């Protein structure tokens, strides 16, 4: 899911300049440099930067909203111009902030904001204008290669990523799966040399801002020494790994039954094309192959919603009622007037669900093409979690109007979604009785195939990039490093020998799109830690996977107190405000999935686990 353009991660937008931009004066008055590197000038500079970025960010936000809801060549260009204007100012302010790196006498608040300005650009541009232009062109070309990518079969039928992904999800023919998997990876080899050059330029830009390489710059945003952050991630992964290994062992055994152990050896990594997803990051599409045989779904939420006459509006009203039950104020009337709930018939729109805070005050909106089904019911609760977070921190200064770290925003929405339990559905009248525990394993299996299966992938994407940024692998070694990490963390292997010029990382959008990925791993950790704490506050003494905080104002008050802090304090302090813990704790995941882990251990008796 996505929150609004400029507020999900402040200052985390790539330097994106459109190739054929119109002649426009991007000058913004009042930016005459940061001044001499004194504490007084630093304070004045930060205030000026926040004021201008807030103004430009709101302009870019409104343009992005119009473009997303009225897709035309004109609105696309207007949105790109506003975004370019905003990003250009970010680049200037980052360079100016770097001048204060060694300034003495700075208060902690000013130093924190200077670091946010300096480290907040995903792909920093070198100071040389020619290199900046080159970097912009590379970014546009990489995006175009990915966006226009398709694979043409021998019969002349050409499929894009969406249609190829449908084959990966639905087919059980290994040859069809292999061709779709290989086909999509024909898109990425031409990206490799461009990506390598982009890394060179971005590292040069990072060095000009005072960082040894781009990976260090990315890791500096986590309120700890950047060299300590990878070890923290490995610590968290070490807590989850036993559950993942048990899931992996069971899934591998079932795939061996489906496809034969010659294709799926029972002592090694799983071939990546058999897991139901183009990147083997989400295994939920193979649920029918690995599901507990003795259990069946105890209720069909989609059918219930349709039988009760729910539509897009009443689905959103149910989501708002959840937050109201926690003590949150109702959404403003403008939310209902300005949000997009149903796909219009008269124009193209971006249907991907997103949450927006257009004026950073109270102009909250969601944009969804809502369908009456269980998935969208959950998604609505998730997106509203972003909206309530946005409203909670809107009294903070500009740079602090965001989540404590980039994992928190997604985690909050996912935390609320975890409370969509049978108990919650019974309380709001969608179920007459709460089903017994006989279906819990099936429910937990579905959630594990989506969430637990994702975690090592969520970890390794940036592990690969950080090594690339640090020069530990050159272009000729990109692919080998990628598959080494895939096998190490996921226990997943390439289904065939990869060509010498392959660039399989480029087949995942976030790599050519330069979107940091560790946030998604952190969100998985945090959502269960938040959920367990809120259940304890609510006094729920049952299994944590059956807990819903619906109707508990004490849990709502504690949650809101954390949300109001935004990014104003280091994330460990924000985390402690809710959980009482100063560190992220993955044991909450083990608590949540404890029944499934016991079931998996029983199933895996006599099997050789590991790879």
The yes-or-no answer on residue 383 being catalytic is yes
Is the confidence at residue 9, as pLDDT, over 90?
no
Residue 332 pLDDT > 60: yes
Which of the four pLDDT bands, split at 50, 70 and 90, describes residue 12? very low
Q: Give the chain's length.
A: 611
Predicted pLDDT of residue 34: 54
Supply the pLDDT for residue 26: 33
| Tens-place pLDDT, residues 157-212 | 999 998 999 999 999 999 999 999 999 999 999 999 999 999 999 999 999 988 99
For residue 369 the two structure tokens come to 């093409």
Please give the distance of CA 369 from its chain centroid, rounded to a whole number: 20
User: Per-residue pLDDT for 304 more than 70?
Assistant: yes
Instruction: Exactly one of 59, 137, 150, 510 is catalytic; name it.
Output: 510
The tokens describing 225, both together, are 């020494």
DSSP, collapsed to helix, strand or coil, labels residue 3 as: strand
Q: Residue 269 has which token pair?
A: 């990594």
Q: How far apart are CA 611 and CA 581, in angstroms?
A: 34
Report pLDDT for 143: 84
Rounded to whole angstroms, the Cα distance separating 269 from 251 reads 11
Give the N- to C-terminal CA distance of the chain in Å, as an integer.
33
Query: Lowest-pLDDT range, 119-133, 180-194, 299-313?
Result: 119-133
Least confident piece of the model among 182-196, 428-442, 456-470: 428-442
> What pLDDT, in 10s, does the model give residues 566-588?
999 999 999 999 999 999 999 99
Task: Kindly state the average pLDDT of the residues 477-489.
Answer: 97
Q: Tokens standing for 569?
A: 């304090």
The pLDDT of residue 21 is above 70: no
Least confident of 291-295, 406-410, 592-596: 291-295
The answer to whether 221 and 257 are in contact (CB under 8 A) is no
301-435+519-603 adopts what CATH topology? 1.10.1370
Please determine, for residue 23, whether its predicted confidence score (pLDDT) is greater than 80. Answer: no
Residue 32 has pLDDT above 50, yes or no: no
Q: How confident is the model at residue 380, as a pLDDT?
A: 95
Which of 80-89, 289-298, 464-473, 594-603 bottoms out in mean pLDDT, i.e. has the lowest? Answer: 289-298
| 412-433: burial string, b at 16+ Cβ within 10 Å, e else | bbbbbbbbbbbbbbeeeebbee
The two three-digit tokens of residue 16, written as one number = 């994106």
The CA-atom distances, in angstroms, between 231 and each of 36, 228, 484, 527 are 38, 6, 18, 21
Is the distance from CB of 244 to CB of 460 less than 8 angstroms? no
Q: Computed over its alpha carbons, how large is the radius of gyration of the chain?
A: 24
Residues 6 or more apart in contact with residue 544 via CB below 8 angstroms: 531, 532, 535, 588, 591, 592
Pair 186, 151: CB distance under 8 Å: yes
Per-position b or e across 93-123, b if 16+ CB within 10 A of its CB: bbbbbbbbeebeebeeebbbbbbbbbbbbbb
- Output the CA torsion sign for 609, 517, 408, 116: positive
Task: Kindly indicate the confidence band of residue 331, based on its pLDDT and cuts at 50, 70 and 90.
Answer: very high
Query: What is the pLDDT confidence band of residue 35, given thresholds at 50, 70 and 90?
Result: low
Q: Is the dihedral of CA 467, 472, 476, 480 positive or negative?
A: negative
**294, pLDDT greater than 80:** no
* Residue among 82, 5, 98, 90 at smallest CA distance from 50: 90
DSSP class of residue 271 equals E
- Cα separation, 291 vs 432, whole angstroms: 26
Instruction: Tell me which of 514 and 184 has the higher pLDDT.
Output: 184
pLDDT of residue 107: 94
In terms of Cα–Cα distance, which of 390, 385, 453 is closest to 419? 385
Question: Which band of pLDDT confidence, cut at 50, 70 and 90, is reported for residue 607?
Answer: very high
In angstroms, the CA 6 to CA 3 distance is: 9
Q: Tell me how far apart the alpha carbons of residues 7 and 401 are, in angstroms, rounded to a whole number.
A: 7
150 is known as an active-site residue: no
599-603 average pLDDT score: 97
The pLDDT value given to residue 234: 94
pLDDT score recorded for residue 8: 35
Q: Kindly provide the b/e burial profile for residues 579-601, where b requires at least 16 CB atoms within 10 angstroms of the residue's own CB.
A: beeeebbbebbeebbebbbebbe
Q: Single out the residue of 352, 364, 366, 386 nearest to residue 71, CA to CA.
A: 352
Strand 150-152, strand 270-271: pairing = unpaired
In this structure, what are the phi and psi dihedrals at residue 47, rounded to the nearest 5 degrees? -60, -45
pLDDT of residue 441: 93
- For 327, counting Cβ atoms within 10 Å of its Cβ (0-12 exposed, 13-18 middle, 19+ buried), the class is middle
Given a contact cutoff of 8 angstroms between Cβ atoms, the answer to whether 209 and 393 are in contact is: no
Q: Is the predicted pLDDT of residue 336 greater than 90, yes or no?
A: yes
Question: What is the pLDDT of the chain when averaged over all its residues?
Answer: 90
The residue-averaged pLDDT of 443-448 equals: 93
Q: What DSSP string runs through 432-496? A: SS---GGGHHHHHHHHHHHHTTTHHHHHHHHHHHHHHHTTSS-GGGHHHHHHHHIIIII-EE-SS
pLDDT at 296 over 70: no
Residue appearing with tokens 């930067």 = 49
Confidence check: pLDDT of 29 > 50: no
* Catalytic pick among 61, 204, 383, 410: 383
Picking from 374, 376, 375, the residue whose alpha carbon sits closest to that of residue 366 is 376
- Lowest average pLDDT, out of 147-161, 185-199, 346-360, goes to 346-360
Q: Which range among 1-10, 351-360, 438-447, 553-562 shows the weakest confidence by mean pLDDT?
A: 1-10
Q: Distance between CA 515 and CA 13 in Å, rounded?
A: 9
Sign of CA dihedral 587, 589, 593, 598: negative
Q: At how many degrees (to 10) do helices 571-579 and 518-537 cross?
A: 30
Helix, strand, coil percentages, rounded to 5, for the chain: 60, 5, 40
Res 3: pLDDT: 55
Residue range(s) occupied by CATH 1.10.1370.30 in the chain: 301-435+519-603
Q: Residue 7 and residue 115: Cα distance in Å, rounded?
A: 17
How confident is residue 148, by pLDDT bands cut at 50, 70 and 90?
A: confident
pLDDT value at residue 18: 28
> Residue 493 has what pLDDT?
98
pLDDT score, position 126: 87
Judged against a pLDDT cut of 70, whether residue 11 lies above it is answered with: no
Q: How far is CA 415 from CA 212, 276, 330, 524, 589, in A?
A: 36, 26, 19, 9, 12
Mean pLDDT of 247-273: 98
Cα–Cα distance for residue pair 390/205, rounded to 1 Å: 31
pLDDT: is 508 or 17 the higher one? Answer: 508
């Amino acid at each position: 899911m996505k929150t609004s353009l400029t507020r999900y991660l402040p200052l985390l937008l790539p330097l994106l300049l459109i190739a054929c931009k119109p002649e426009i004066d991007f000058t913004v008055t009042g930016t005459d440099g940061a001044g001499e590197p004194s504490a007084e000038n630093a304070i004045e500079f930060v205030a000026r930067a926040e004021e201008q970025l807030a103004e430009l960010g709101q302009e870019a936000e409104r343009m992005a909203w119009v473009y997303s809801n009225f897709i035309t060549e004109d609105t696309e260009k207007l949105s790109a111009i506003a975004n370019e204007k905003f990003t250009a100012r970010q680049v200037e302010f980052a360079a100016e902030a770097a001048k204060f790196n060694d300034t003495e006498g700075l208060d902690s608040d000013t130093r924190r904001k200077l670091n946010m300005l300096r480290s907040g650009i995903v792909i920093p541009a070198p100071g040389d204008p020619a290199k900046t232009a080159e970097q912009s062109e590379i970014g546009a070309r990489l995006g175009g290669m990915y966006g226009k990518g398709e694979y043409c079969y021998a019969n002349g039928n050409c499929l894009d990523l969406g249609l190829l992904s449908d084959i990966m999800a639905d087919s059980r023919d290994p040859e069809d799966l292999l061709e779709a998997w290989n086909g999509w990876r024909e898109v990425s080899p031409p990206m490799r040399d461009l990506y390598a050059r982009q890394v060179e330029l971005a590292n040069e830009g990072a060095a000009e801002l005072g960082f040894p390489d781009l990976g260090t710059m990315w890791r500096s945003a986590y309120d700890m020494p950047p060299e300590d952050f990878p070890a923290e991630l490995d610590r968290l992964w070490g807590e989850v790994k036993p559950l993942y290994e048990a899931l992996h062992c069971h899934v591998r055994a079932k795939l061996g039954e489906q496809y034969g152990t010659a294709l799926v050896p029972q002592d090694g990594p799983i071939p990546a094309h058999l897991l139901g997803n183009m990147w083997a990051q989400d295994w939920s599409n193979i649920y029918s192959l690995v599901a507990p045989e003795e259990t069946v779904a105890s209720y069909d939420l989609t059918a219930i919603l349709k039988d009760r006459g729910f539509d897009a509006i009443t689905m959103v009203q149910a989501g708002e009622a959840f937050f109201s039950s926690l003590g949150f104020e109702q959404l403003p009337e403008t939310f209902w007037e300005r949000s997009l709930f149903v796909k219009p018939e008269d124009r193209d729109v971006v249907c991907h669900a997103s949450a927006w805070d257009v004026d950073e005050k109270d102009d909250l909106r969601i944009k969804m093409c809502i369908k009456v089904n269980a998935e969208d019911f959950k998604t609505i609760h998730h997106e509203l979690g972003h909206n309530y977070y946005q409203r909670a921190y809107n009294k903070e200064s500009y740079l602090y109007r965001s989540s404590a770290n980039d994992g928190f925003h997604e985690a909050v929405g996912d935390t609320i979604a975890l409370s969509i339990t049978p108990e919650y559905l019974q309380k709001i009248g969608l179920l007459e009785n709460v089903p017994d525990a006989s279906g819990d394993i099936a429910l937990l299996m579905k959630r594990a195939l989506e969430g637990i299966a994702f975690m090592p992938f969520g970890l390794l994407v940036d592990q690969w990039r950080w090594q690339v940024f640090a020069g530990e692998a050159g272009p000729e070694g990109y692919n080998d490093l990628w598959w080494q990490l895939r096998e190490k963390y996921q226990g997943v292997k390439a289904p065939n020998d990869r060509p010498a010029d392959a660039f399989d990382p480029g087949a995942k959008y976030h790599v050519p799109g330069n979107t940091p990925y560790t946030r998604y791993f952190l969100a998985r950790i945090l959502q269960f830690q938040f959920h367990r704490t809120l259940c304890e506050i609510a006094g729920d003494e049952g299994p944590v996977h059956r807990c819903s905080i619906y109707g508990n104002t004490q849990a709502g008050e504690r949650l809101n107190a954390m949300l109001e802090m935004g990014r104003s304090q280091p994330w460990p302090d924000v985390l402690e405000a809710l959980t009482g813990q100063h560190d992220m704790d993955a044991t909450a995941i083990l608590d949540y999935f404890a029944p499934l882990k016991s079931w998996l251990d029983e199933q895996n008796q006599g099997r050789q686990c590991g790879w």
